[in-house]
Structure 1
């Protein structure tokens, strides 16, 4: 009997909660309905008072429904005039939703759901039939935003410019991997933002040259340091656009490319010795550590040591900069971590149907990323003296020309 009593109590509690939820929804939708109708009454009153060109008058109301995120409003009374010229600003003609569902479609698409998945979900949850084409058309509104964002003016100065690529599966005549070029900048104050992205083809120095020229054209004309991997030709492309900037090759990329070539029994010791080079306290000590490293491993791994020696200048550039920001600039990890986030978002989609689909997904993710980091200061950049040192470096490389006033 006790068990049955508990089950009965639980059932009654559930029913009671459902009734409260229904009551709350009805109260909210009724409140919204009354306020919308009041707004529309004020609108038509103002419209009629300003109507001067030809005779007109009110013509009662018509009723319609409107879906909102709080529930469906039934029998909404919309005023009308005899000349059928009045249009409320509360919603567009023939609009049956207040825009929240379309926004939800965009958010689901951004989260990695395909157009067919979104369409099925909308229909199962809300009873609204959205075809994959309709979903695609809704998300296409983002394309206009992308064009504006891609052409927006940039700041003049960036202390650091990170470059990195991400391959996505893109369907043209067949599915193939194509690169998305990303440029990320850190300004003098240490704020990190994605400056632009560019889709298409295979990663190349020529592709990066076009990216860099676009950044320069949009205003990013003074850069101290470019951080990227050792893609052939990229150094020259970067220096062509930013001849006064330094180049820092990503040490993490270099270590990763070297590691597979080292025998298993040597890996730990080899890496520990290598760390003494880029963990040295200053540039001079780093060079001395490399000489020791070379003497120890040069005969056993001559090609690997030679490769490091040839790139040593660009691998140790970070020593020119304040030590507080070393961890932020000796590797391209910031842009790599971002790419990892994007790759995770894109994973549910086996392939994307066209460049527009790629751009929509990437752009929506970038908006989230830039918003998250808009007010964050990158590690080390907020330390005392760092900004002053960076400003000094800017002034030395890009001196401000004083204008005389007569």
Structure 2
């Protein structure tokens, strides 16, 4: 979209500062100006502008309400004479909001909510909702989430894979039970991030991870060379079965916490320094040399931490095999952790999900929305150096042996 300037009148600013509508009075004119800018971009001309590039003409507008967390907004949606203008503003803005509201509404309808939840629902939406309204909204959102969750992954390969899980409280079988949500992010051969899928399970087990990864492969996930995750044994085993010979990178953030948990408090500042030196080595041989220099000191001050280091340091530095530009992006699961924080922000409002469907709806809507932003936004990585590295370190999938090949002359 073309760059445009948003202006806010003095009256609106005063209404924001002193009025009852608060942020809604500020957000309303901003969104209205965005809609007008979208129409200008669609037609190739602003109102009254004379240009040979014009693709059509305006034809008034119609009112549209948008329910947000700051209140109900009255927007003026522009029309064009041919009726070809479409805005994605409502769909993209409301998708995750609908999921949150639906989860709250279900609590009210199913009789498992508190008075406070009902108050929140009314505050968010401006009114209470009937079962038929919940059913209609649920069907519409579920179809969108299902389209995202079942899409084919065959069009591209995904050299880099990042996986993590979170746990939510869900009412099942007459009790509140912990439920696992497994998430997978891929970086495709074009260097774009995508949220590949999600899976709910009663527990984070090897079988659950195997089923989830199997479903991703069934949808076409292929070409995985590097996978980053925490050290959950079931997950690591499922990855190695699904993608023989891949490089498994143990998340350095998780590994660091594991080491520090076994470190006496009086030695933790020093352990932070040691971990920085080890994890920022130039290669695994360099890491091994540095480790040998400090292992005696660690054994004397934190013997339990030394055991964790010896058991996981090579896996936590596996990413050092890659060209330098990829190491920082792939050494942790932070990209999923940040996304999980967005889920947690909404979970704090809901606290206990009324059923598995509401979990899949809310998390799925957020996944679809974030996936759309990532896959159509700025490229996350340039992949040229990786494919050059891959050519030089070709791995035979049948023998799982790595062979060095001479670089091709220019």
TM-score band w.r.t. shorter chain:
0.5 to 0.7
2:104 to 114, 118, 122: 114
Q: Write the distance in 1 (CA, Å) between the matches of 2:334 and 2:289.
A: 26
| Alpha-carbon distance change, 232 to 131 in structure 1, aligned in 2, over 3 angstroms | same
Partner Cα distance (1:102, 1:326) in 2:
36
C-alpha root-mean-square deviation of aligned residues, in Å? Answer: 3.3
C-alpha distance in 2 between matches for 1:321 and 1:103: 36
1:248-281 per-position Cα deviation (integer Å, ceiling 9, x unaligned): 1111101112213222221101110121111112
The answer to whether the 8 A contact 2:95-2:369 is kept is no
Structure-2 separation of matches of 1:324 and 1:150: 31
Q: Give the Å deviation of 1:111.
A: 4.6
Q: Describe the shift of the 1:174–1:301 C-alpha distance in structure 2 as closer, same or farther (beyond 3 A).
A: same
* Large movers: runs of 4+ above 6 Å: 100-105
Local SS of the residue matching 2:301: coil
Residue 245 of structure 1 is matched in structure 2 by: 246
Separation (CA, whole Å) in 2 of partners of 1:340 and 1:191: 21
Is the 2:148–2:368 Cα contact (8 Å) retained in structure 1?
A: no
Structure 1 equivalent of residue 303 of structure 2 = 302
Paired with 1:270 and 1:103, the residues of 2 have a C-alpha distance of 45
- Residue number in structure 1 paired with 2:212: 211
Deviation at 1:287, TM superposition (A): 1.0
Give 1:376's match in structure 2, choosing from 374, 378, 382.
Answer: 378
Q: Offset at 1:393?
A: 6.7
Q: Once the 2 structures are TM-superposed, how far is the Cα of residue 191 of structure 1 from its aligned partner? A: 0.8
- Paired residue secondary structure (1:240): helix
Q: How does 1:129-168 map to 2 (within 5 A)?
A: 130-131=129-130, 134-155=133-154, 156-168=156-168
Report the counterpart of residue 264 of structure 1 in structure 2: 265
Tell which deviates more after alignment, 234-243 or 136-145: 136-145
The alpha carbon displacement at 1:184 in A equals 0.7
Seen in structure 2, the aligned counterparts of structure 1 residues 236 and 329 have a Cα distance that, compared at 3 Å, is same
Deviating more after overlay: 132-141 vs 345-354: 132-141
Q: Work out whether residues 163 and 181 of structure 1, in 8 Å CA contact, stay in contact via their aligned partners in 2.
A: yes
TM-fit CA distance, 1:351: 0.9
Contact map agreement 2:264 2:302 (CA 8 A) in 1: no
1:105–1:135 CA contact under 8 A, matched in 2 = no
Contact 1:119 1:131 in 2 (8 A): no
Runs of 5+ unmatched residues, structure 2: 1-13, 15-61, 66-72, 76-82, 84-88, 109-117, 399-410
TM-score (norm 1): 0.67
Cα pair distance change 1:258/1:395, threshold 3 Å:
closer
Q: Which residue in the other structure is 2:289 paired with?
A: 288
For residues 225 and 103 of structure 1, the distance between their equivalents in structure 2, rounded to whole angstroms, comes to 32
Residues 106, 138 of structure 1: 8 Å contact kept: no
Residues 241, 102 of structure 1: alpha-carbon distance in 2 compared, 3 angstrom cutoff? closer
Q: Which has the higher Rg, Structure 1 or Structure 2?
A: 1
- Report what 2:196 is aligned to: 195
**Residue 189 (structure 1) shift:** 2.4
Q: Is the 8 A contact 1:102 1:138 kept in 2?
A: no
Between 385-394 and 265-274, the greater mean CA deviation after superposition: 385-394
Q: How do 1:181-192 residues align onto structure 2 when only pairs under 5 Å count?
A: 181-192=182-193
